Structure 1
Amino acid sequence: MPAAVTDEQNRLDHEALLDAAEKLFYENGIQAVGMDQLRAASGLSLKRIYRFFAAKDDLVVAMLKRRDQRWRGSLATYVERVQDPRERVLSIFDWLAGWFAEPGFRGCAWINAHGEVGPGSAAVLAEVRAHKQAFHEQIEAWVRAAGSAATEPVYLLAEGAIVTAGINGDPAPARQAREAVAALLGRP
């Protein structure tokens, strides 16, 4: 009889699967990645994968949730190092520029997921909407702290920069959006 799988092994296997899914889905697209590719990349058997996630959509949702925590956490850490509230808002776009310039940048994982499976998967659509709402709330807090009511334009400029950079493969939209937000906020 095989040894029982420990909680630690379950945690490690779960993380390995999410790592593999995030890499493959982001690089290739959700629909293009089959379960055999996930098996090979994670080193887990299909039986083990299905014990963690009964359906591919469940794996997509878990991957997006985990990515959301890291992505928004990284953004918050970067922005909140800046003392001046106006500069904090502008630093959102500095962080975006750095992300856009990373090797392998392929745009927004949530927009990509929505484009592929969101409309046909209530769970994926809900996760995409949850991420976008949480990102909006982050921006709203920083914009209000800067004494501005321009949350919607700042949010839309950030989202537009993300989509444009993903399509063009160029980090310039972050700088352009930053300039537009600086004009919206007025000069210090």
Structure 2
Amino acid sequence: MSYISKLVGSKDSIKGLNSCCYFFDLKTGCKLIALFDVLIAFLQIYRITVFETVEMTTSSESPSLGDGLQATREPEVDMFGAPLTTKLQVDKMDSYWLRVLCCVTLLKSILLLAGAQWDHILCLVAWMLITAFSGSLNFFYHLFGEIDFFVVLTQSLTAGIQMYCGLVVYSLTKKIWNKRNDFASEVEVLYSHGSEASIFSISSP
């Protein structure tokens, strides 16, 4: 924590942003980031659940037309229009990994909401660390998997968005840190002036 404090409070640190997307202040931007992460996590969980339900249904039911002929039907799609029975779908290992990422996303969203609402620097720093760690794991997980242009493009866009969101949270953290330091400096100056005035009044005849 002391290292983070020095990094945020250093004069050579990144200056940071003054707003989020030019329309929202930093607090509102952080809250919107947290709500967006929660929405994405719930949509991802819903998609995984639908995929597993359809997979179980298709594996248990195999309609036939007789004489060993299998009936064909149109591939089912999810709410996004993506086919649920293609090789691009996640397998069980991917499902477990995505569920873990969704849980981590929900956890860090709570931290970000708490940090933005009550100016809690520790929650904001924890969000940045968890985001950097989970984002790196997710990037390398897909990097060593099946790579195509769509995967590279998606991961690059995701990394760019996460870096901007991290910069917004960092900017709010730096703003809160500077505000507290300025307040502490003002209190210290007032206390020193009051002490000098009391000492002068006692020493004067």
**Which of the five TM-score ranges fits, normalised by the shorter chain?**
0.3 to 0.5
* TM-score, length of structure 2 as denominator length: 0.36
* TM-score, length of structure 1 as denominator length: 0.39
